[in-house]
Amino acid sequence: MEAARAEITDLDTPLFVYCRSGNRSGHAVTWLKQAGYSKVQNIGGIANYSGKTE
């Protein structure tokens, strides 16, 4: 997660976090909020996503 701090210095940057199932992204959201990021959202697991991707 230190990589996030180095890459995203503005703590008000909107962040959308996902993983395969949604569990690890939930942990990541908790850490990011504890690190001071204010606009963090867990969008869940990509395994359940059925929309278009880029």
User: What local confidence, expressed as pLDDT, does residue 14 receive?
Assistant: 96
pLDDT of 22 = 86
What's the confidence (pLDDT) of residue 41?
93
CA distance 38 to 10: 10
Contact 33, 15 (CB under 8 A): no
Which residues are CB-contacts of 39 (< 8 A; sequence separation ≥ 6)? 12, 13, 14, 15
Residue 4 has a pLDDT of 77
Q: What is the pLDDT of residues 1-53, one digit of tens each?
A: 677 788 999 999 999 999 998 899 999 999 999 999 999 999 888 888 787 77
The reported pLDDT for the residue numbered 1 is 64
